[in-house]
Amino acid sequence: MSEVRSVGLVAGNGRFPVLFARGARAAGVRVVAAAQRGETDPALEAEVDAFAWFHIGQFGRIADYLREHGAREAAMVGGIGKLKAFRNARPDLRTLKLAASIRSFNDDALLRAIAGFFEGEGVRIIPSTEFLSEIVAVAGALTRRAPSADEARDIALGREV
pLDDT tens digits for range 27-45: 999 999 999 999 999 999 9
Q: How far apart are CA 62 and CA 35, in angstroms?
A: 9
Kindly state whether residue 39 falls inside one of the protein's structural domains.
yes
pLDDT at 71: 98
Kindly state whether residue 112 falls inside one of the protein's structural domains.
yes
pLDDT at 2: 66
Strands of the 50-54 sheet, one edge to the other: 50-54, 30-36, 6-11, 73-77, 124-125
Domain extent for 78: 6-160
pLDDT at 1: 57
Other beta carbons within 10 angstroms of residue 52's beta carbon come to 16
How many domains are there within the chain?
1
pLDDT at 150: 94
Cα three-residue angle 72-75-81, rounded to 5 degrees: 135
* Phi and psi at residue 30, to the nearest 5°: -80, 130
Kindly state whether residue 11 falls inside one of the protein's structural domains.
yes
Q: Where are the alpha helices (DSSP H) in 10-127?
A: 16-26, 59-68, 82-88, 93-101, 107-120
- Amino acid making up residue 60: G
Kindly state whether residue 115 falls inside one of the protein's structural domains.
yes
pLDDT at 54: 97
Identify the CATH number of the domain in which residue 138 sits: 3.40.50.20
pLDDT at 146: 86
pLDDT at 161: 81
Kindly state whether residue 107 falls inside one of the protein's structural domains.
yes
pLDDT at 81: 84
Kindly state whether residue 1 falls inside one of the protein's structural domains.
no
pLDDT at 138: 75
| Spatial contact of 123 and 94, defined as CB atoms under 8 Å apart | no
Kindly state whether residue 51 falls inside one of the protein's structural domains.
yes
Flag residues of the chain having pLDDT under 70.
Answer: 1-2
Kindly state whether residue 111 falls inside one of the protein's structural domains.
yes
